[in-house]
Amino acid sequence: MGGRAAAGQGDRGLAARKTAGRTVTFADGTAADFDVIVWATGFAADHSWIDIQEAKDSQGRILHKRGVTPSSGLYMLGLTRINE
């Protein structure tokens, strides 16, 4: 793939202000194209919007081993205790 990834406060240290297609425009007006954008906000875990039953336990928590879920193509990042 060889693409680039962006985050709201990416490696540029600038907040993303606008996206259009593959282009992200940052607070300083510079722009760059990215293949993947991971947009994460907040501090509370809430996976209620993920409607994939095989990826959840009976309490609605995501099942995973080191971020890999039982659902093909669904991976988790930034969870507490992810390496256990």
Q: Do the bridges between strand 31-33 and strand 23-26 make them parallel or antiparallel, or are there none, so unpaired?
A: antiparallel
pLDDT at 3 over 80: no
- Read off the pLDDT of each residue in 50-70 and give the average, rounded to a whole number: 90
Q: Name the pTM for this structure.
A: 0.47
Euclidean distance between CA atoms 76 and 7, whole angstroms: 15
Q: Which residue has the higher pLDDT, 41 or 77?
A: 77
**Helix-then-strand count for the chain, H and E:** 0, 5
